[in-house]
Amino acid sequence: MFKRITLLLFCFSILISCGKSDTVTLVSSTGRINHVLIVINDADWDGRVGDALKEIIGEPVIGLPQEENQFTVTQVDPRTFNALFKRNRNILFVGVDTINQVYTNSNIYSSPQTTLTILAKDKETLIKSIADSKDEILNTFKKNDLALYQRKITKDLQNIEDIQTLKNLGISLQIPFDYKLVDDTGQFLWYRNSTDRGLLNIIAYEIPTFGEPYTKETLVSFRDSIGKNFIPGQFDNTYMRTEPNFTPITTPLELNGMKAIESRGLWFVEGDFMGGPYLSYTLDDAENERLIVIEGFSYSPSSKKRDVVFQLEAILKTVQKK
C-alpha cells in the first residue's frame, strides 16, 4: 500500500511540475548521450518487471565489433528521486498505478529533457506494456539525444559552399568545424576528426546506376572500390575494405524526405590490422540515375564504439537535398 501511495504522489508531482514548467526557469539537464535514468521501485527492478526492461536495454546495438547495450542505465527508487536525479536529460518512469498509460513529456524538471512514463494496474499488464513499448522506449531517448547533438554541432560548422563534392551531389551536410578536410575531388569527399579516442571520418560519393536496380552486393562492391582508390592505409598497398565476414545490416527508411537505405557494418584495412564500424546512408537520386552515399566510419581501438557511431549518425542525419 505504501509503495502505491508513494507512486501516486510521485505521479501527481509530475502533473504539477508540467503545469509550472511554462513559468519556471528550468536548470540545464545533465547526462551523457545514450544514458537513461530509470525510476522504478527496487523490488520491481530486481524482479520480472526489471527483467523485461533489461531485455530491451540490454539488446546490443547492431553493427559494432563488440556487443554494447542500447543505453547506459542508472536505476533509482521513487523514494530517493531527488533534485540531483531530476536533472537527468532522459528519464523513464515505470510502476503499478490505478491506470494503464504510456506517455511522454518534455522539460518537466530541467531542459532539454524527455521523460517516458509507463504505468499499469498490475505487474503482468506492466510487463506486457513494457514489451509492447520497446520501440517507443528506444526511439524516444535516441531521438532526444540525436537532436541534442545536432544542436551542439550547428554552433560551429564548415562552410558547405566551399565543398565542391557536396555541390555536385546536390546535398547539404552539417559538418562540425573540428572535422578537417582530407580530400574534396568533386566526386569524393573526406573529412576527419582526430580526437583522444581515435579517428572519426565522414565521406561522401555517388554511385551511377544508369536506371538499373541495385543490390546490397552492389553497394559493398562500390564501397570497396572507393576504399581502394581514395582511402589508403598507413603502409604502401594498404586500403580500406568492407569486412567480408560480417554482412552489413541494411534498413530502408526515409531521411529528411529522401528515400534511403541505412547500412551498418565493419571495415578493415587490407594488409594491416586497423578496423572498426561504419554507418552509411544511400540516397536514391533516381532523377539523375545515381545513388548518393554519405558515410561515417571510426577508428577507436582502445574505447567502446557505440557513442562515436551515434555522433556520426547525428551528423549524417543532417543531410538535406538542395
Domain ranges of the chain: 2-152, 157-321
Q: Check residue 152 and give its pLDDT.
A: 85
Q: Check residue 154 and give its pLDDT.
A: 77
Which own/partner contact pairs does 249-256 have at CB distance under 8 Å and 24+ positions apart?
249/62, 249/63, 250/216, 255/281, 255/283, 255/317, 255/319, 256/317, 256/319, 256/320, 256/321
Q: 157-321 in CATH: which number?
A: 3.40.1000.10
Topology of domain 2-152 in CATH is Chitobiase; domain 2 (3.30.379)
Q: Check residue 146 and give its pLDDT.
A: 94
- DSSP, collapsed to helix, strand or coil, labels residue 316 as helix
Q: Which amino acid makes up residue 236? A: D
What share of the chain has pLDDT > 70, as a percent? 93
Decide if pLDDT at 1 tops 90: no
pTM above 0.85?
yes
Q: Check residue 73 and give its pLDDT.
A: 95
d(CA 44, CA 46): 5
Quick one: average pLDDT of 64-93? 95
Q: Check residue 85 and give its pLDDT.
A: 95
Q: Check residue 83 and give its pLDDT.
A: 93
Q: Check residue 186 and give its pLDDT.
A: 96
Contact yes or no for 235/250 (Cβ under 8 A): no
Q: Check residue 5 and give its pLDDT.
A: 39
Instruction: With cut-offs at 50, 70 and 90, classify the pLDDT of residue 9.
Output: very low
Segment 139-153, tens digit of pLDDT: 999 999 999 999 888
d(CA 312, CA 174): 11
Work out the mean pLDDT of the chain and round it to a whole number: 91
Q: Check residue 23 and give its pLDDT.
A: 55
Instruction: With cut-offs at 50, 70 and 90, classify the pLDDT of residue 89.
Output: very high
Q: Check residue 214 and give its pLDDT.
A: 86
Q: Check residue 11 and give its pLDDT.
A: 52
Decide if pLDDT at 94 tops 80: yes
Segment 26-71, tens digit of pLDDT: 899 998 999 999 999 999 999 999 999 999 998 899 999 999 999 9
Segment 241-299, tens digit of pLDDT: 999 999 999 999 999 999 999 999 999 999 998 999 999 999 999 999 999 999 999 99
* CA dihedral over 125, 126, 131, 137, signed as positive or negative: positive
